[in-house]
């Protein structure tokens, strides 16, 4: 079997009602393939004589190879629109079909049963050997065609191409022509899979940095961000503040209204933290009902204004719980970076001292380290 290269064009052909790219022969580089006709459609007046389309819809193998279910198969990435000629089509007319459709090969088929291929390489070799061109397609085609089922994996199809030194495989199902898969298709599939893998990895990485209940950064992600910002301030100078929050009497909320109500309180409070933050601030759930917010380029005055706003909005929250309207308050401690608090541990300790001072002073207030 001889054949030239192909590059797949256009969107995934598995979606119904849309024009599918790439006919049975591979399209030349830079040229889209023709629009396919449905499998049951017959050749219309706009088609060249001797050319008959064979379009196959997505088979069960294509559905089974959806991302995330199992290894990708040929059926998911093959071109389902194939341009074919009959065995008795004169070779010059087959060449005209290839020229009109801007493709590098055509399939020779008897109905829906593929018999062989006629490619640019086949024609070049025939001319070079001085063989006559005024012959039927049956006499000039490369046969038998190399075929594979739609449930063959992409890796297996690529190995078939490598072992047989070809650039395309016809895809058959029950002896009927279903599509064509080329090296270009496999390359595109590999690129798509790599992109999906990178996207999935990014989502997993982001999920690992988030608290599942509130959606805020978890302690590990917060400590990492705080360490980077602290290093920047140490090197270049500037302001950096830290505010820690603790919901007042939160254990009593869980005991009286249940953990579902407690979880809803945590979600509402986390949303309040986010709404009050600037774009550069980093809010996080630091553990249990304790939250921390890193405020870059902010001194204690700005941080205290932020914490006071959070305190007021939290006190105004009403959370439905068992037919009642649950209200909560929060206490906060604020500190800023200084030479005396030149580490994350020292800043957390200073902010915690102010938080406990707010608790001892009656709760529902903000205390700031001087």
Question: Positive or negative, the Cα torsion across 353, 355, 360, 365?
Answer: positive
Q: Please, are residues 57 and 16 in contact by the beta-carbon 8 Å criterion? A: yes
Catalytic site residue 289?
A: yes
| Cα–Cα distance, 89 to 136 (Å, whole number) | 5
Chain centroid, CA 164 distance in Å: 34
What does residue 151 show for φ and ψ, rounded to 5 degrees?
Answer: -90, 5
Q: What element of type H or E holds 98?
A: helix 91-101
Pull the structure tokens for residue 225.
Answer: 């961000």
Q: Which of 264, 289, 318, 324 is catalytic?
A: 289
Chain centroid, CA 152 distance in Å: 24
The per-residue b/e assignment along 196-226, b for 16 or more CB within 10 angstroms, e otherwise, is eeeeeeeeeeeeebebeebebbbeebbbebb
Residues taking part in catalysis? 289
């Amino acid at each position: 079997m001889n054949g030239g290269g192909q590059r797949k064009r256009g969107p995934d052909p598995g979606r119904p009602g849309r024009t599918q790219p790439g006919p049975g022969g591979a399209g030349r580089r830079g040229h889209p393939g023709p629009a396919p006709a449905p499998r049951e459609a017959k050749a219309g007046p706009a088609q060249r004589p001797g050319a008959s389309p064979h379009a196959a819809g997505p088979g069960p193998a294509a559905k089974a190879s959806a991302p995330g279910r199992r290894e990708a198969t040929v059926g998911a990435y093959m071109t389902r629109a194939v341009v074919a000629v009959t065995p008795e089509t004169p070779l010059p007319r087959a060449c005209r079909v290839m020229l009109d459709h801007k493709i590098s090969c055509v399939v020779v088929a008897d109905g829906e049963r593929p018999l062989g291929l006629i490619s640019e390489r086949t024609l070049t070799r025939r001319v070079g050997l001085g063989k006559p061109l005024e012959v039927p397609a049956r006499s000039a085609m490369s046969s038998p065609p190399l075929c594979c089922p739609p449930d063959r994996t992409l890796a297996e199809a690529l190995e078939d191409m490598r072992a047989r030194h070809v650039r395309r495989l016809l895809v058959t199902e029950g002896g009927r022509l279903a599509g064509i898969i080329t090296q270009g298709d496999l390359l595109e599939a590999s690129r798509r899979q790599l992109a999906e893998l990178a996207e999935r990895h990014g989502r997993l990485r982001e999920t690992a940095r988030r608290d599942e209940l509130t959606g805020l950064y978890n302690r590990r992600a917060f400590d990492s961000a705080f360490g980077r910002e602290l290093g920047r301030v140490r090197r270049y100078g500037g302001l950096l503040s830290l505010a820690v929050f603790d919901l007042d009497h939160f254990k009593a909320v869980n005991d009286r209204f249940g953990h579902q109500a407690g979880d809803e309180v945590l979600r509402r409070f986390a949303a309040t933290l986010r709404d009050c933050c600037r774009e550069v601030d980093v809010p996080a759930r630091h553990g249990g009902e304790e939250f921390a917010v890193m405020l870059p380029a902010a001194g204690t005055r700005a941080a205290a204004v932020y914490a006071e706003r959070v305190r007021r909005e939290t006190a105004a929250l009403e959370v439905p719980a068992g037919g009642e309207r649950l209200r909560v308050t929060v206490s906060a401690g604020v500190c800023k970076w200084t030479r005396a608090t030149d580490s994350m541990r020292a800043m957390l300790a200073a902010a915690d001292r102010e938080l406990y001072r707010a608790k001892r002073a009656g709760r529902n207030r903000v205390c700031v380290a001087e």
